[in-house]
Homo-oligomer: A and B are copies of this chain.
Amino acid sequence: VDVHRSLLSKNDHEAAHLREHFRADGVTVINLMGSPGAGKTALLEATARALGGTRRLAAVSGDLATTHDADRLLRAGIVAETITTGTACHLEARMIHDVMHSERLREAIHAGDFFFIENVGNLVCPAIYDLGQSANVVALSLTEGVDKPLKYPVMFKNADLVVLTKLDLLPHLADVSLAAIRDNISRVSPRAAVLALSATSGEGIAAWTDWLESSRLGASQARAGAQPLLQLGRRAP
């Protein structure tokens, strides 16, 4: 327990450092979490389609293996890198710091409007590791059933927004209702906003990009102080 607490405290320190850089860059950072297959990558692909070049997007995808997700994001026009976690079931602040060695990513974040951190697919551990984000977004597929907020309370308590995905499948899910999921979310997280959408049909995507734009205001107010993120990990000239 002490080892765990000490690791978390070290992570918080590193996350605070990242957050300073992100604020200086005026980039809004979204920590996107959810189960495997919740549709996190599909949501970011749909985001790129919807924002259609009006916003500059950067992303990292955390995965135990493969570069599939970052490859998909690159094809969607997002500057993206992979963080390969091996056996780790979550991202930590030092992994975000390390991936800034990619100059391409660093510059995309520095000049960017949104930086999406697509976490490892997992409803448990990612919730407790601060990554310097502006907001926590949890993607929950409607196919996962209505009781997940009650069964994974820490993840939902820490959410600023819960995005209910795969709305196009709702007519085929006999035991699922949006009202029941919303009710369960509000029980563990009264302050979390909730949106339902389908990355496939596009339904609800406009409300999501509206939410992104509104989340941007707070970040831009803090656009002063600290050195630009660009200098993170930069070699001496």
Q: Which residues of A contact B (CB under 8 A)?
A: 3, 35-37, 63-66, 68-69, 87-89, 120-125, 128, 141, 143-145, 147-148, 150-154, 166, 168-169, 172, 174, 200
Contacts of A128 in B (CB 8 A): 87
Bound together, the chains give a CA A120 to CA B89 distance in angstroms of 13
27 contacts between A and B (CB under 8 A): A3-B3, A35-B36, A35-B37, A35-B144, A36-B123, A36-B144, A36-B152, A37-B148, A63-B151, A64-B124, A64-B151, A64-B152, A64-B154, A65-B152, A66-B151, A68-B147, A87-B124, A87-B128, A89-B89, A120-B124, A121-B123, A121-B151, A121-B152, A122-B123, A141-B143, A169-B169, A172-B172
A47 → B minimal CB distance (Å): 18
Copy total for this chain: 2
A123-B121, A172-B172, A200-B174 given as contacts; is B37 within 8 A of A141 (CB)? Answer: yes
Contacts of A168 in B (CB 8 A): 172
Contact between A122 and B174, CB atoms less than 8 A apart: no
A37-B144, A174-B200 given as contacts; is B123 within 8 A of A65 (CB)? Answer: no
* Closest 4 pairs (CB-CB, A-B): A37-B144, A89-B124, A143-B143, A35-B36
Contact between A150 and B65, CB atoms less than 8 A apart: yes
Query: Which single residue of chain B is at the shortest CB-CB distance from A173?
Result: B169
A159 → B minimal CB distance (Å): 14
Contacts of A89 in B (CB 8 A): 89, 122, 124-125
A31 → B minimal CB distance (Å): 17
Query: Which single residue of chain B is at the shortest CB-CB distance from A65?
Result: B153
Contact between B143 and A169, CB atoms less than 8 A apart: yes
Bound together, the chains give a CA A148 to CA B69 distance in angstroms of 11
A83 → B minimal CB distance (Å): 13
A116 → B minimal CB distance (Å): 18
Contacts of A174 in B (CB 8 A): 200
Bound together, the chains give a CA A120 to CA B65 distance in angstroms of 21
Known: A64-B124, A121-B152, A122-B124. 10 other contacts (CB 8 A): A3-B3, A35-B35, A37-B148, A64-B151, A64-B152, A68-B150, A87-B124, A87-B128, A143-B169, A168-B172
